Chain A
Amino acid sequence: MNETHTIKKTVLHAQNIRKSYGSRSNVQQVLKGIELRVNEGEFVGIMGSSGAGKTTLLNVLATIDRTTEGSILIGNSDISKMKDRELSAFRREKLGFIFQDYNLLDTLTVKENILLPVSLGKMNKKEAEAEFRAIADILGIKDLAHKYPHEISGGQKQRTSAARALINRPSMVFADEPTGALDSKSASSLLGTLEDVNKKRDVTIMMVTHDPLASSYCSRVVFLKDGTIYSELYRGDKTRQAFFQEILKVQGVLGGDSIDTI
């Protein structure tokens, strides 16, 4: 961080994002002009009821899907103008992903899974090994290195997935319902770790979730409704409990999922 004039620089800047599906006669607009700016070191939660466009937004921002309209800047690169090949390289080098179903390769051990993203990168074996140790230490999966995915629990799998997302020192990590398939204990443990990683390693994280408890670990929560941003909440210095209550309130106003959580 040799820049002195800004405290936190912008990592992601999305302008007027629109995304529609379907043919000409039957267009369905899922994202209707979204503006979003994420600063370095933020832990942003995206909430909203089913069909609000959470996952679509994540996919579009994560370069897995393309926008119909609008521009997205990650770092200094405009990803909406990149070719597929450049996007792939960009994802591999700059982004990290955590999926709801872990998406680990069954044929690889925990360590092999984690080291997969650096396999075509510039990182040499020694650096990769050091990085792996550091991350495995933080995530508490050091002893699992040589186990296969079917031998470990869901929580451990998700930690492995998180480690894989972090191994290449990404500018940003995208997490799609990372706690969706976990029990509440594993979920809060994982979220605690993510929060930790976010603070200690200064990793920017964007997480889609429908669980208010999960989003209470974030530093900011963005609420989507019908493809637009409905409101935003900043945690600031509030305790997680207080932030959780606030999120519940907004969700109550939004309707939808709130009933489940009470």
Chain B
Amino acid sequence: MTLFDLVIRSMRKNLKHYYLYFFALIFSVVLYFVFATLQYDSAVIEQASSSMKMDSAFKVAGILVLFIAGIFVIYANSIFLRRRSSEIGLYQLIGLTKGAVARLLFIENTLLGAGALVIGIGVGMLLSRVFLLILMKLVGFNDIVELSFSMGAVLQTALVFVVIIALTSIQMVFKVYRNTLLSLFNADKQGEQPKKPKSGLSAILALLGIGLIVFGYWLSAHMLNELLFFNMLGVLFSTILGTYLLFRVTISWVFYQVRKSKQGHLGLSNSLSLASLMHRLKGNANSLTIITVLSAMTLAMLAGSYSLYYSTEKETRYMIPFDFAFEEGVATSLSDNEISAVDFEVELEENGIDYTTGTIELLGVEGTHEKGIFPAIFDMREEIFNAYFVNAKQLQKAGLEVETPKDGSVIFHNASMMAMAKDIKIPFKMYITSGETESVFTAVKYGEGDVVNAVWGSQLVVSDADFEKYKRTMKPEKIVEMTPESIVRNVRVFNIADKDQLAIASTIRNSNQDTESSYGTDYYLTYVKSMQVNGLLIFIAGFLGLVFLISTGSILYFKQMTEAEQEKQSYTTLRQLGFTVKDIMRGIIRKQAFVFGLPLLIGLLHSVFAIKAASFLFMSDITVPASIAMGIYALIYLVFAFLTVGYYRKTVKAAL
């Protein structure tokens, strides 16, 4: 029998062991290939919308995918090798040299790798089409894109995986050469014995772990000041260290105390969960910490990018309340592609597009307001503030639904401060000093978004009477903080009646749909461009999230599979002692709830605080989209928990 025959025989015999590693390999190939294809094919997309730079985004994401996939394969290989330890030992025991065993494993690995590459690329070709369709849908591109077969992607994938196979082969050779026969035979029996924790130190460290996490959370809510960068580092450091201590010390300390309190009357469920977990906690602390921290990051990334995507329309509307706006008078000159407000109106008429229009006057004001109104980050506003007075009547006439404030009251609008809206104390007094005499207004409400397109600064909506009065008495020379030409502005705005005609109207205004100048004033154009950016972002985040989710889920699953096999004898004993499968499963489910549930729960909690801390980036409330993203993540993650429980059930059933 040649070595090759031996390889084939052992592979056929060991299918059960191989499928785990083989699956990991195929999975990684598929994902990498899909990404490589999209990267090579992004030219197709770029032709369609020249402003999008997808290539570089895909390149960066591709490296991340490669990184995750590489670690995943190497990890799966190490589990796979541990399961086969005694087989490797046996070959040596019956007289094969180390070199021969290493060669045997190398041939196996090459065969597996080649197989995975072929299957993976095949599956990847089918899937990349699906992913391309999803991407097109997300960025709002409706034409059908033909995905060509990309030789470049195949070669790149093949090259990358040859490297990964080489790495795993080295891993295998190390396993053969660096281990004694004895350690190979005992590899399956490894496991620590729970030690009594040093009571004083453990208790302190245990509490420190929780304390660090809580401190990190607290800091994340209070980091918006000059030291933002250091605060962010502090948050990361204290939550990650806290998480590690939690898994390494706190939990074993709590477990130890619980167990001690039972005084030996542990019961079946605890024997299968608590005791079994304590048995391996030291070894699991690192991987649980990594999984928790990475879960938290993935969750925050997913929730953040999904929130961006989800609220694109809303946020664009906040910044661009009117469909179109033209600055009249002094303002910026038109670019080549654009037409003026007058021409635009004519063209709208010609094309039979119904619209409302009006001119909004913006009057600069300067003044002060009550102290302590705004959150700390806006401290600088406490001295003197500038804003625009806007006439409610003009807004209503132009087609924007706003309420008319009473005389002497203003409704405060500022889209960029919306995240802090709930922290602003309403009502507050404003003292306008840029009129003939100082006048007092009361801000009665914080209004949603801006009321005029592309205005920097706050807008104060006032009644017609107040507006006209201020217009008559204002003294522009008293306003020192604004450039003279921006003190009085006239903005011509249009609202299209039928929103389905927005696209046509937008091309009328700007035939190329690409200039920078109408970006902030044309609602439709801005929306489409934001959708493309955010769509790409959620696609990449989602893809990476999926890669990561499946990798971590599988790693936990593989680990539990190994544990289930190591504990098989215990299940046999328990069944012989008269415990039913159901009794035993109750304890196992409890254990899985811990193994899968705790990283997920803590990861979720971390990400909730991360998202909260980042919520100032959003104008709208992101509770809904963030919850949806987290919910989907948790659901997919739990599938692995169910698979694991299923595997245990099979093992326990077969144990007697």
Contacts and interface: CB of A to CB of B under 8 A. Distances in A.
Interface of A: 62, 64, 84-85, 87-93, 95, 97, 99, 103-109, 111-112, 114-117, 119-120, 125, 128-129, 132, 145-146, 148, 150-151, 164
Contacts of B191: 106
A92 B266 contact: no
Contacts, number: 88
Nearest to A146: B264
B580 A108 contact: no
B595 to A, nearest CB: 15
Contacts of B576: 62, 64, 91, 97, 99, 103
A99 B574 CA distance: 12
B276 interface: yes
B271 A128 contact: no
6 interchain residue pairs of minimum CB distance:
A92-B578, A91-B578, A111-B264, A119-B267, A103-B573, A107-B275
Contacts of A119: 265-268, 271
Nearest to B280: A107
21 contacts: A62-B576, A88-B578, A88-B580, A89-B578, A89-B580, A90-B578, A103-B572, A103-B576, A105-B271, A105-B570, A107-B275, A107-B278, A107-B279, A108-B271, A109-B264, A112-B271, A116-B266, A120-B268, A125-B265, A145-B264, A148-B193
Contacts of A129: 263, 265
Contacts of B263: 111, 129
B347 to A, nearest CB: 80
B275 A105 contact: yes
Given A91-B578, A115-B265, A64 B271 contact: no
B569 interface: yes
Q: Which of B276, B569, B579 has the most CB of A within 10 A?
A: B579
**SS class of chain B's interface: helix, strand, loop or mixed?**
helix
A90 B656 CA distance: 16
A91 B575 CA distance: 9
Q: Which of B271, B276, B578, B583 has the most CB of A within 10 A?
A: B578
A92 to B, nearest CB: 3
Contact of B656 (A64, A107, A125, A164): A64
Nearest to A65: B656
Contacts of A97: 576-577
Given A105-B570, A120-B268, A120-B583, A92 B577 contact: yes
Interface residues on B, range: 20 to 34
B569 A103 contact: yes
Contact of A112 (B275, B572, B574, B583): B275
Given A112-B271, A112-B275, 16 more contacts: A87-B578, A89-B578, A89-B580, A92-B578, A99-B573, A103-B576, A105-B570, A107-B271, A107-B278, A108-B266, A112-B266, A116-B268, A116-B577, A120-B268, A120-B579, A150-B193
B276 to A, nearest CB: 5
B578 A93 contact: yes
A117 B578 contact: yes
A106 B578 contact: no
Contacts of A95: 578
Contact of A92 (B271, B276, B579, B656): B579
Contacts of B194: 107, 148
Interface of B: 191, 193-194, 263-268, 271, 275-276, 278-279, 569-570, 572-580, 583, 656
B264 A88 contact: no
Contacts of B579: 88, 92, 120
Contacts of B265: 115, 119, 125, 128-129
Most A CB contacts (10 A, CB to CB) among B193, B264, B265 go to B264
A105 B573 contact: yes
A57 to B, nearest CB: 16
A91 B656 CA distance: 13
Nearest to A64: B576
B411 to A, nearest CB: 66
Contacts of A92: 577-579
Given A103-B573, A105-B573, A116 B271 contact: yes
Contacts of B267: 119-120
A129 B570 CA distance: 24
A164 B574 CA distance: 12
Contacts of B573: 99, 103-105
Nearest to A132: B264
Contacts of A150: 193
Contacts of B577: 91-92, 97, 116-117, 164
A84 B275 CA distance: 27
A115 B266 contact: yes
Contacts of A84: 580
A112 B577 CA distance: 14
A59 B172 CA distance: 43
B649 to A, nearest CB: 15
Contacts of B570: 105-107
A39 B574 CA distance: 27
A117 B268 CA distance: 8
Nearest to B271: A108
Nearest to A104: B573
Contacts of A132: 264
A119 B267 CA distance: 5
Contacts of B279: 106-107
Contacts of A89: 578, 580
A109 B270 CA distance: 13
Contacts of A91: 576-578
A90 B579 CA distance: 10
A103 B580 CA distance: 17
Nearest to B580: A88
Contacts of A87: 578
Q: Which of A87, A92, A95, A164 has the most CB of B within 10 A?
A: A92
A56 B154 CA distance: 59
Contacts of A104: 573
Contacts of A109: 264
A85 B264 CA distance: 27
A89 B572 CA distance: 15
Nearest to A96: B577
Nearest to B571: A105
A197 to B, nearest CB: 18
B574 to A, nearest CB: 8
Contacts of A64: 576, 656
A128 B577 CA distance: 17
A62 B577 CA distance: 10
A125 to B, nearest CB: 5
A87 B276 CA distance: 27
B276 A107 contact: yes
Contacts of B572: 103
Contacts of A85: 580
